[in-house]
Structure 1
Amino acid sequence: MQIPPGLIVFTGIWFLPYSPRWLITKGREAEAYTSLKRLMGSEDEGFEVEFNRMKEQIKLEKAREVKSFAQLWKRYRRRVLVSVAVQTCTSLSGVNVIGYYQTILYAGIGITGKTVLLLSGAYGTLGPIANLISLWKVDSWGRTRSLFWGAMALVIDLTLVMVLTRFYAGTTNSVGQGFIIAFIFCYTFIYYLGFNSVTWTYGAEVLPVHIRSKGNALAAFSHFIFNIAVNQAAPTAFANVGYRFYALFIALNLCTAIIVWAYFPETKGLSLEEIADLFGDEVVPESRLDQSMRSPNERDTKDLNPSKQPSADHFEQIHQA
């Protein structure tokens, strides 16, 4: 079942254009120009401004190249913290705990036999559907809006799962058990709709190109460390505290919503250069962009404009002095 999605990704890669910024860093400006034109779909005045902004910003960032993680932390601390935080919050949402141990959860509420496996298979189909919707709408919804409301929806959903499990697990009330299963299914749909497509996108775009590999490495490290921690603790926790274990993820998702609301800037519709300005980093001034867009001849003769030349009266005053 995993082969067809892999083939789709492998085939699709060959149709993706190279990143214009990456091409500029490699000195392949002509290819970068073509790639950006393909991505923007036009070559109007705004296109030229955007292309020149990229070139000048990359020159500026190269002059401040980060060669170690210590420099990364010193110069881009806030950006790195946001990138790491969004991945950490993802791991602590509880998605992998519920995904990995859902068969235990179904058995705990009284479901037995092949029904457990059928439910597990049905659960796995919801993620891709929600992902497709998220990929289509994420640029209109916004990054932080998706994360905030996604986290709040998970809080509500897990609260309902916990309360219903408290009263209906192990009983003969099939309606109550059905609602528990329904809200577990809702959980994965909400997560993939609000979190999964956003976290990897947002965590990367808050980092400038020249530090992205190091910043993403730290974010991914945090993601998997916390993933391992909660997944290893889950079987023991469910065995000892049962449905109360959901309270941990309710609290963590509430914390995520607060962190997103208070500290995560919205990056929807912004270029990387505009995001740099959003974080208070040094960006290329407009005057430098104006200079870079002139032809060499225009730059050499820009001071020959008669309106900017010294007047005859000025020369006369100097002569008299």
Structure 2
Amino acid sequence: ANWVGYASSYAPENIKDFRWRFPLAMQIPPGLIVFAGIWFLPYSPRWLITQGRESEAYSALKRLMGPDDENFEVEFNRMKEQIKLEKAREVGSFFELWKRYRRRVLVSVAVQTCTSLSGVNVISYYQTILYAGVGITGKTVLLLSGAYGTLGPLVNMISLWKVDSWGRTRSLFWGAVGLVVDLTLVMTLTRFYAGTTNSVGQGFIIAFIFCYTVIYYLGFNSVTWIYGAEVLPVHIRSKGNALAAFSHFIFNIAVNQAAPTAFANIGYRFYALFIALNLCTAVIVWAYFPETKGLSLEEIAVLFGDEVVPESRLGPSINNLHGHEAGDLNSSKDLSADHFEQIHKP
């Protein structure tokens, strides 16, 4: 989109409306591609089971796991039994959701809130103002915006590829630490070199603004939505995700509405707010977020101390769960949430 805007800025004066009409029109083709491609995606096996379509769920899970996966039958049986258990304890209201699944909901809401308070959208939305403040003018501002907008999705592909090996909380923790360091450098360099003739200093400011998007997309962008959803069981996910998304966009609107006034009145000092908030995020992730890497939803339920289906009802036993005998997953004494948290701290 940024590159389309940059190219459209060269439209001649006699068709200057093209400069804004064409970028808007270019949003239609990607939407059509998504609309066409979504029909080729498999349904969620868990959702199919909740709808009573078990044969379709069986086929969908086999497609996702592969026909030769030796744990397939156990995983399918575990899904069925766990969903039966959860349906018997269906949550009917947000009050009940909060009462029974407070910790899960808090984690899901917190990860979305921390994302909005990282400053990512402030920098993305107002980067042209930031470049102008450094001393960049003309179409070079749009050129830099195009490069910035391209870098993020490219880095995000690395994140999607490595998220299951890096881990969720580790990515979030080091991402937050990285943003603290990066924004500290941006603020310091802006303090001394913005508005000067020192092109080297100005170049470093822009370089660290670009580093910001690299760090954010490696540590936050994809992980936030994956982690925020998987900490919620299927039967409360719609309500839990609704609360998390509400929090995400409320705080997003708040910081973005405040940004123009803040930059106009306190300038580079506004970065200090996001330095402090990202530091808080790192502490919260380290102290309160359990690692979910490599765990099924049923195993995640153990992390949060929920009631789960005993192994005796699943058919063949699961021999190993992260190097420990699974035993009876329903026993909080044998496999507690505290035990998992100690193993998976970032």
For normalisation by structure 1, the TM-score amounts to: 0.88
Per the alignment, residue 154 of structure 2 pairs with 129
Question: Which of 219, 238, 245 in structure 1 is aligned with 2:263?
Answer: 238
Find the partner of 2:49 among 10, 16, 24. Answer: 24
Name 1:153's counterpart in structure 2.
Answer: 178
Which of the two has greater helix per residue? 1
**Residue type at the aligned position of 2:110:** A
Could you tell me how far apart the structure 2 residues matched to 1:138 and 1:221 are? 25
CA distance in 2, matches of 1:44, 1:151: 36
Query: Deviation of residue 137 (structure 1)?
Result: 1.0
* CA RMSD between the two structures: 1.5
Aligned twin of 2:228 = 203
1:37 aligned to 2:62?
A: yes
AA in 2 matched with 1:37 = K
SS at match of 2:203: helix
Gaps of 5+ in 2: 1-25, 318-346
Cα deviations across residues 100-139 of structure 1 (Å, max 9, x unaligned)? 1111111111111111121112111111101111111111
Match for 1:253: what amino acid? N
Number of matched pairs = 292
- Could you tell me how far apart the structure 2 residues matched to 1:184 and 1:3 are? 30
Paired residue for 1:319?
Answer: none
Shift in CA distance, 154/4, structure 1 to aligned 2, threshold 3 Å: farther
The residue aligned with 1:84 is: 109
Partner residue of 2:306 out of 270, 281, 284: 281
Question: Where in structure 1 do 4 or more consecutive aligned residues deviate above 4 Å?
Answer: none
**The one of 172, 175, 185 aligned to 2:200:** 175
* 1:45 Cα deviation from its structure 2 partner: 4.2
Q: Is the 8 A contact 2:159 2:218 kept in 1?
A: yes
Q: Does 1:261 pair with 2:286?
A: yes
1:44 and 1:204 map into 2 onto residues whose CA distance is 25
Tell me what 2:325 maps to. none
Q: Which amino acid aligns with 2:203?
A: G
1:67 to 83, 89, 92: 92
Q: What letter matches 2:236 in structure 1?
A: I
Matched letter for residue 276 of structure 1: A
TM-score by length of 2: 0.82
Q: In structure 2, the residue corresponding to 1:265 is in which secondary structure?
A: coil
**Is the 8 Å Cα contact of residues 77 and 315 (structure 2) preserved in structure 1?**
no
Q: In the alignment, is residue 139 of structure 1 matched against residue 164 of structure 2?
A: yes
Structure showing greater relative contact order (alpha-carbon pairs closer than 8 Å, 6 or more residues apart) = 1
46, 56, 62: which one pairs with 2:81? 56
Q: Per the alignment, in what secondary structure is the counterpart of residue 280 of structure 2?
A: helix
Structure 2 equivalent of residue 194 of structure 1 = 219
Distance 2:164 2:27 in 1: 28
Partner residue of 1:301? Answer: none
CA distance in 1, matches of 2:206, 2:316: 63
Q: Sequence identity of aligned pairs in percent?
A: 91
Query: Superposed, which structure 2 residues align to 1:98-113 within 5 Å?
Result: 98-113=123-138
Change (3 A) 1:130 1:6: farther
Name the structure 1 match of 2:332: none
Taking a change above 3 Å as real, the CA distance of residues 15 and 152 of structure 1, as seen in their structure-2 partners, is: same
